[in-house]
């Protein structure tokens, strides 16, 4: 079955960077786009961007342009999200999610990033 | 960017009630709309895509309708297990998706 398993919680100081992983299994890794979505405490869902693992091409939300980098390691079927210059406003649960021809049909369990 | 406006923000209803949530797009998105359910502390799960297609395994009491700019998620007979926050999401603007603000559904 399709699974997206994310790395564990992180605590970072303001100004630092964080790199989160999302290991995919149960499907052909290079055949599906993967999106990253974040959710601040008590808030709604915010789209961060997406990556096409087969080519490594990315599209980022303008809100995060210049501060996020998404990469994919096809040898291990793992996606990565790096966020730099962290502030308290980046404290959130970060999800990876597979795109199934439009909708996001499978989600990781989420990685909590706390900036303090 | 396409903006998604969802309402109400909170909905309180009794077990067995029919409930509806509305999502409005700032421009036409044809039928490229999905609905998600998010239970407290968990990842969202896909309920409906292409405005009205039920994802496999989702109970038939859930249904979706609409096209263009106005969409509705309905639950025909509210169950206790349906307590959650519901989000709409457009995917017409390919590679630049947006979510509604969410509707928190409670049992009265």
pLDDT tens digits for range B1-51? 899 999 999 999 999 999 999 999 999 999 999 999 999 989 999 999 999
Rounded to the nearest 10°, the torsion over CA B49, B55, A93, A65 is -30
Percent of chain B with pLDDT over 90: 94
For residue B87, list chain A residues with Cβ-Cβ distance below 8 A: 44-45
Contact B46 A103 (CB under 8 A): yes
Distance CA A63, CA A38 (A): 12
Mean pLDDT in chain B? 95
Interchain contact A98–B (C-beta under 8 A):
no
Contact A59 B95 (CB under 8 A): yes
* Shortest CA distance from A41: residue in chain B: B41
pLDDT band at residue B95 under the 50/70/90 scheme: low
Interchain contact A50–B (C-beta under 8 A):
yes
Give the other-Cβ count within 10 Å of A32's Cβ. Answer: 18
Distance CA A103, CA B30 (A): 14
Distance CA B21, CA A94 (A): 26
Which of A44, A59, A109 is facing B99, going by the closest CB pair? A44
pLDDT less than 70: residues of chain A: none
């Amino acid at each position: 079955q399709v699974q997206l398993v994310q790395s564990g919680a992180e605590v970072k100081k303001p100004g630092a960077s964080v790199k989160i992983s999302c290991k995919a299994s149960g499907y052909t890794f290079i055949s599906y786009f993967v999106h990253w979505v974040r959710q601040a405490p008590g808030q709604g869902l915010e789209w961060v961007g997406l990556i096409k693992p087969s080519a490594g091409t990315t599209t980022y939300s303008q809100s995060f342009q210049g501060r996020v980098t998404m990469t994919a390691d096809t040898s291990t079927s793992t996606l990565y999200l790096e966020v730099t210059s962290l502030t308290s406003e980046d404290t959130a649960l970060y999800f990876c999610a597979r795109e199934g021809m439009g909708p996001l049909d499978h989600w990781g369990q989420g990685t909590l990033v706390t900036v303090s | 960017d396409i903006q998604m406006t969802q309402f109400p923000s909170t909905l309180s209803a009794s077990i067995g009630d029919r409930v509806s949530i509305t999502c409005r797009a700032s421009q036409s998105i044809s039928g490229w709309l999905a609905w998600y359910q998010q239970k407290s502390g968990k990842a969202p799960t896909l309920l409906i895509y292409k405005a009205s297609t039920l994802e496999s395994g989702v109970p038939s009491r859930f249904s979706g309708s609409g096209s263009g700019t106005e969409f509705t998620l309905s639950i025909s007979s509210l169950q206790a297990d349906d307590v959650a926050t519901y989000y709409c999401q457009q995917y017409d603007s390919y590679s630049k998706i947006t979510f509604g603000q969410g509707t928190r559904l409670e049992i009265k």
